[in-house]
Structure 1
Amino acid sequence: MKLNKIAAMLILAGTALTGCGQVDQAAKQAEYQIVPEYQNRLNIYEPVTLSADLSHLTENQKALIGLLIEASDIMDDLFWQQAFGQDKDSFLAGIKDEKLREFAAINYGPWDRLNGDKPFLKGFDEKTAGAEFYPHDMSKAEFENADFADKEGLYSLVRRDHEGQLTTVAYSEAFSDEMNRAAAILEKASGYAEDKEFANYLNMRAEALRSDQYQASDFAWMDMKNNMIDVVIGPIETYEDQLYGYRAGFESYVLIKDMAWSEKLAKYAAFLPELQRGLPVNKKYKAEVPGSDADLNAYDVIYYAGHSNAGGKTIAINLPNDEEVQLAKGTRRLQLKNAMQAKFDTIMQPIAATLITPEQRENVTFTAFFANTMFHEVAHGLGIKNTINDNGTVRQALKEHASALEEGKADILGLYMVRQLLAKGVIDEGELEDYYTTFMAGIFRSVRFGASSAHGKANMVRFNYFQEHGAFSRSEDGLYSVNMEKMTQAVDSLSELILTLQGNGDYAGVAKLVEESGMIKADLAADLDRLESANIPVDITFKQGKQVLGL
């Protein structure tokens, strides 16, 4: 009876797992055609070979990596279903032009992730905000007025039952074949793991995939300290759900720890409680105490899959997202050093040469870029996770705006942390001007991710806020310079604003901030056009896999 009910829900969901609601009959032709204005946009991603030196690894460790890549490929297929719904292989086979097909593969569908999810193939409608997590005919009013189990769940799809009413289907049931295959691979991989804690985590993560109960495996992941190989795998981030930000997308990263760099970073996490107490906001918004068991490490990433590989590529990770785990254990911050270096070389330096005043270009450094990115992730652990007025967690209260505001918080508090640690002498490389100027160049990099990205929205809000407060100036010929004093003032005042909005769970206030400041104005649009004219990549894409690694 249970299987029949699930089958009925999936059938009655109509477009939910097929994606047909987002494509008209014109797209069902033998060959998909490009929207004309996209002819010059297919080269915005710079190809980068994602390789690493594996010579120091044992044969067991190499076999382990191969299995983790196999499990990651299943996460990749699952994210295609969540993001698009149509069969990936038949969709891509319908695109004859190689560059266009590659662009579609990068975007996991026919919508440009770095341009507000606009369709770049003829015949496709605008992407629905809820992707494939919700029925396409469902309105917000219907959802909010309905009463059904797991309504705000991370690990379920919203579907219609046989009576047309909203209900949910757990990921472990909707994707049972894929989840069981991935779980079996992780269990097999655990037999090759030379670190006992990592082997335990792989087995617990396998069980989580089958049961939709991830917290225990998150705690196990936090307890690992000595594993050289790591994997982040499962339904994790909620960015793809732009309707409410409730439901998690599948993704995976396969990682090798950089021991030398990790040792350099270990000292910073210990300062979190002190930095939390010093935040520039009323004490009621900083009463929570960050977990003291957090750690900070550098990795070479050797495989991306699913959400992490769609559109703009992640260069640092701060997990787990579970608020209870964060308060008890903190988080792990993983800096993806090789991917970060690739973005700095191919994107950041050319941006600085184009938009930063010559006097400050030398202040744009990889050291500052690495630190700003790192402290962005560390700063996710600062501030507040639960509202002060019983509106639940910040994520629940702010709904679809939660991700953008959280990314904005992490960026701005990351700068606050850098300033404090430089003053204490804990950071002993570079000057504050390096970090501020590199941060400014970084805004131009991230704002190009577009309005559909939480990071892009956060950068637009911050750019406009900084401009209003004189944190930078723009010359007549379009070159930017940072005003050190006013930048510091803007960092503190914006920190206070964001933390207050989060602590109050002020949905209306955040919506107003995003609406009024989350847009690209004329001068910035012209400057971004200059980056495009200079053929500066917007982001990178990877040549990756077992063959690239020599496995």
Structure 2
Amino acid sequence: MKTSHFLIAATACGMLMTGCGKTTEKKESQEQTDSKTDKGTELMSNYTSFKLTTDLSHLSEDQKSMVGLLIEASQIMDDLFWKQAYPGDKTKLLNGIQDANLKSYAQINYGPWDRINNNEPFINGVGEKPKTANFYPTNITKEEFEALDNNEKTSLYTVLRRDEQGKLKVIPYSEAYKDELSKAASLLEEAAKLAKDEGFKQYLTLRAEALMSNDYYNSDIAWMDMKDNMIDLVYGPIENYEDKLYGYKASFEAYVLIKDMEWSEKLAKYAQFLPELQEGLPVPDNYKQEKPGTDSQLNAYDVVFYAGDCNAGSKTIAINLPNDERVQLKKGSRRLQLKNAMRAKFDKILVPISDVLIDPSQKQHITFDAFFANTMFHEVAHGLGIKNTISGKGTVRDALKDTYSALEEGKADILGLYMVKKLHEKGEIDGDMKDYYTTFMAGIFRSVRFGAASAHGAANMIRFNFFQSYGAFEKTPEGKYKVNYDKMEEAMNALSEKILILQGDGDYEGVNKLVSEMGNISADLQADLNKLGEAGIPVDVVFEQGKSALNI
């Protein structure tokens, strides 16, 4: 699950898609030229550029060549995500946009809907974004989906289309995207031949096979078994954020990563505390009965290429994978901290936000070490709690459907802070807890700006409103925010318990109720967020990346 993205429940269209969010390409092509240059400039100011690079001097020539092949393979994931996210013709869309800035903004968003502004269309005549994305026909209804007698309809790795008679059919990714995945598999196999680390070689080989078989389990296990590889790759259909209809379908993405061996060694010790932290969760015992896998790993990386889902709109700065509950229970998970991308967001976004909104008496508590720890333990916290409901409703993911991703991100945020507190009490984390609490508070303002269309942004709205109801912070007469540290801990424990119980019960209606009550930006908060835009503080980053950025 990525870090650093409570989805608003489907309302106007309900869970039906009849007539909702259709993309009218004819109208698009006629009206896109109405867009004004100043609009494109204004939208592009939401992002600041950052060059993705790192020191490759310790890599052999074969390893550098392998990195190049992995970047080529990742570009295929980028193209495939466009096909999943946009139910229209990408080329027609981009060619119809005359303004260069607006065209760039469409490329950042993988379509004409603004991902950091609740998926509002920024091209005239497009209409709202369909909750189906391109995983289902845009005119699908809940009734016909439920009536379809096919166990694979809820698979992460299938799309639904209509046959010649207009009836639904289920197509595996390996068939729907056969040409692209065949090419991707060939590139991974070619890279495997250059791999120095045997574990990485095995993973690349099995991942190539998985693209063609639609079965990713063995390659996920192989990825978990790697320990000493200096180069890493996250690759394939992974997260289910883009499917706003049911949350069933996984999107294509890729990260090419260079491991920081020294930082990774420092982080390795924290995984051993997971079982102890699970036992201490502030929730009744039956909601923490599962035992986290003991093979969980914490590692630090410089990321040198993003592609697909992880590159759309707001960018991920830490990763917790695999998502397969079977792998998590058997092996645990790996938490990848993306140091260079994290530093970019801290320096270019979080510090300037703090200058505008955090009380001067607490600004000294905004630190990169606290930002790194809060982000890291967010990913570790995905391994806490339970993956299967205690109410007989199956997995938490299946029971919570389209609300799963947002609630899971909210859990990881709040339990990450809980872990920091507990490890600090044990003397395993240095520094002042005020650093972690204050930086966490500032981080809410950063992520709330991602908007309700982002699981991370909406989760932050709920946390902000929940914390406010507990008096965890106050707003000074000068319009600055000041953390009440004792109340912060109380609110942290209360929200942790609430989320863990909602997950354990598989309480879909309860999650929707929480969203409707807490998942809103007040006029007062919006006015403060507007100050950030007026101060010229970007919402997120875009990357200058690829072989040229690495000089390979």
Determine the C-alpha separation between the residues in 1 that align with 2:168 and 2:283: 41
1:391-402 residue pairs with structure 2 within 5 A?
391-402=393-404
Q: Deviations over 1:291-335 (max 9, x none)?
A: 000100000000000001110000000000000000010000000
Q: TM-score, normalised by structure 2?
A: 0.94
Indicate the residue corresponding to 1:255 in structure 2. Answer: 257
Indicate the residue corresponding to 1:509 in structure 2. Answer: 510
2:204 to 199, 202, 205: 202
2:215 to 213, 216, 227: 213
> Is the aligned partner of 1:288 residue 2:290?
yes
How many Å apart are 1:491 and its aligned residue? 0.3
Determine the C-alpha separation between the residues in 1 that align with 2:458 and 2:327: 27
Q: Deviations over 1:197-255 (max 9, x none)?
A: 10010000000000100011000000000100000000000000011110000000000
The question of whether the paired residues in 2 share the 8 Å contact of 1:153 and 1:246 is answered with yes
1:229-308 residue pairs with structure 2 within 5 A?
229-308=231-310
Indicate the residue corresponding to 2:493 in structure 1. Answer: 492
SS of equivalent residue, structure 2 residue 290:
coil
How many Å apart are 1:507 and its aligned residue? 0.3
How many Å apart are 1:20 and its aligned residue? 11
Determine the C-alpha separation between the residues in 1 that align with 2:344 and 2:77: 25
SS of equivalent residue, structure 1 residue 150:
helix
Instruction: Tell me: CA distance 1:141–1:476, structure 2 relative to 1, closer, same or farther (3 Å).
Output: farther
Paired amino acid for 1:528: L
Paired amino acid for 1:420: K
Of structures 1 and 2, the one scoring higher in RCO (CA 8 A, sep 6+) is 2
Range moving further from structure 2, 467-476 or 331-340: 467-476
Instruction: Tell me: CA distance 1:103–1:532, structure 2 relative to 1, closer, same or farther (3 Å).
Output: same
Indicate the residue corresponding to 2:181 in structure 1. Answer: 179
Range moving further from structure 2, 159-168 or 382-391: 159-168
Indicate the residue corresponding to 1:7 in structure 2. Answer: none
> Is the aligned partner of 1:532 residue 2:536?
no
Indicate the residue corresponding to 1:450 in structure 2. Answer: 451
> Is the aligned partner of 1:464 residue 2:448?
no
Range moving further from structure 2, 39-48 or 213-222: 39-48
Indicate the residue corresponding to 1:522 in structure 2. Answer: 523
Determine the C-alpha separation between the residues in 2 that align with 1:213 and 1:153: 11
Indicate the residue corresponding to 2:79 in structure 1. Answer: 77
Instruction: Tell me: CA distance 1:139–1:426, structure 2 relative to 1, closer, same or farther (3 Å).
Output: same
How many Å apart are 1:32 and its aligned residue? 3.7
Q: TM-score, normalised by structure 1?
A: 0.95
Indicate the residue corresponding to 2:7 in structure 1. Answer: none
Determine the C-alpha separation between the residues in 2 that align with 1:164 and 1:132: 16
Determine the C-alpha separation between the residues in 1 that align with 2:506 and 2:64: 46
The question of whether the paired residues in 2 share the 8 Å contact of 1:201 and 1:217 is answered with yes
SS of equivalent residue, structure 1 residue 252:
strand
Determine the C-alpha separation between the residues in 1 that align with 2:164 and 2:394: 32
Determine the C-alpha separation between the residues in 2 that align with 1:200 and 1:109: 36
Q: Which runs of 5+ in 2 are unaligned?
A: 1-16
> Is the aligned partner of 1:417 residue 2:419?
yes
Instruction: Tell me: CA distance 1:413–1:201, structure 2 relative to 1, closer, same or farther (3 Å).
Output: same
How many Å apart are 1:39 and its aligned residue? 5.6
Indicate the residue corresponding to 1:12 in structure 2. Answer: none
How many Å apart are 1:28 and its aligned residue? 1.9
Paired amino acid for 2:165: E
1:351-366 residue pairs with structure 2 within 5 A?
351-366=353-368
The question of whether the paired residues in 2 share the 8 Å contact of 1:25 and 1:123 is answered with no
Indicate the residue corresponding to 1:404 in structure 2. Answer: 406
Determine the C-alpha separation between the residues in 2 that align with 1:254 and 1:384: 30
SS of equivalent residue, structure 2 residue 330:
helix
Indicate the residue corresponding to 1:374 in structure 2. Answer: 376
> Is the aligned partner of 1:478 residue 2:516?
no
Q: How many residues align?
A: 533
Determine the C-alpha separation between the residues in 1 that align with 2:173 and 2:330: 27
SS of equivalent residue, structure 2 residue 233:
strand
Instruction: Tell me: CA distance 1:67–1:241, structure 2 relative to 1, closer, same or farther (3 Å).
Output: same
How many Å apart are 1:62 and its aligned residue? 0.3
Q: Percent identity?
A: 61
Determine the C-alpha separation between the residues in 1 that align with 2:547 and 2:24: 35
How many Å apart are 1:282 and its aligned residue? 0.1
SS of equivalent residue, structure 2 residue 335:
strand
Determine the C-alpha separation between the residues in 2 that align with 1:518 and 1:449: 13
Paired amino acid for 1:331: S
2:150 to 145, 148, 151: 148
Paired amino acid for 2:479: G
How many Å apart are 1:363 and its aligned residue? 0.2
2:114 to 106, 112, 115: 112
The question of whether the paired residues in 1 share the 8 Å contact of 2:23 and 2:88 is answered with no
Determine the C-alpha separation between the residues in 1 that align with 2:62 and 2:387: 40
Q: Which runs of 4+ in 1 moved over 6 A?
A: 35-38
How many Å apart are 1:464 and its aligned residue? 0.4
How many Å apart are 1:31 and its aligned residue? 5.5
How many Å apart are 1:90 and its aligned residue? 4.0
How many Å apart are 1:141 and its aligned residue? 3.2
Indicate the residue corresponding to 1:25 in structure 2. Answer: 26
Determine the C-alpha separation between the residues in 2 that align with 1:257 and 1:33: 46
Paired amino acid for 2:164: H
Indicate the residue corresponding to 1:9 in structure 2. Answer: none
